[in-house]
Chain A
Amino acid sequence: NAGVTQTPKFQVLKTGQSMTLQCAQDMNHEYMSWYRQDPGMGLRLIHYSVGAGITDQGEVPNGYNVSRSTTEDFPLRLLSAAPSQTSVYFCASSYLGSGPQHFGDGTRLSIL
């Protein structure tokens, strides 16, 4: 059972670089979401999607783009990386937006 798969697990970027964090789930879940977690803080919602073609902003969307062309995939794009985006990023999915979420292992991102 793959569940929710995030890649890469670790990444170091230079300020101004762009990159895409990948998230894939094989549970046919409609709801997918991206969170960031900073030291001593909880998970903050970046973007979420309730199904293919539908995305919406969360609490901290600035500097990030998402798209949802398929049910399985929900990539998160950093357009121009900034040191403030150094964080641990978690992707999660659930059958519905009202259901319990399954999390990926996280991506640890450092921006120098």
Chain B
Amino acid sequence: RKEVEQDPGPFNVPEGATVAFNCTYSNSASQSFFWYRQDCRKEPKLLMSVYSSGNEDGRFTAQLNRASQYISLLIRDSKLSDSATYLCVVTLPTEYGNKLVFGAGTILRVKS
């Protein structure tokens, strides 16, 4: 089983739609979680951290479910500019501390 799994999509949605992505992780000892956004052939950029209580940043809402070991990202009122690949990131404990592991990403295409 992969350490971090995401539905690759693509999710094709019209402008203004609400879309949600899930990401599952296998190690219950993981402590930190993030969503990144990656545009074609560019470096990934931090979208938001995911906190236990859930958090919101404008049109974006992230949730964490430790019991089921998944995190989610909800995008409301989708814009054309939201088209990108969304990467789920999870920390995994190691003997040296933590390392960060990325999911393979979910492709979102917002169409007019």
Contacts and interface: CB of A to CB of B under 8 A. Distances in A.
Interface of A: 31, 33, 35, 41-45, 48, 50, 54, 56, 58-59, 88, 90, 92, 94, 96-101, 103-106
Contacts of A54: 96
A33 B101 CA distance: 10
A33 B100 contact: yes
Given A41-B104, A97-B91, A58 B44 contact: no
A33 B94 CA distance: 14
A33 B43 CA distance: 14
A7 to B, nearest CB: 14
B21 interface: no
A35 B99 CA distance: 12
Contacts of A99: 32
Given A98-B32, A100-B49, A43 B97 contact: no
Secondary structure at chain B's binding surface: helix, strand, loop or mixed? strand
Given A90-B43, A105-B43, A48 B99 contact: yes
Interface in B64-112: 87, 89, 91, 94-105
B41 interface: yes
A35 B102 contact: yes
B87 A43 contact: yes
Contact of A43 (B32, B44, B96): B44
Contacts of A48: 99-100
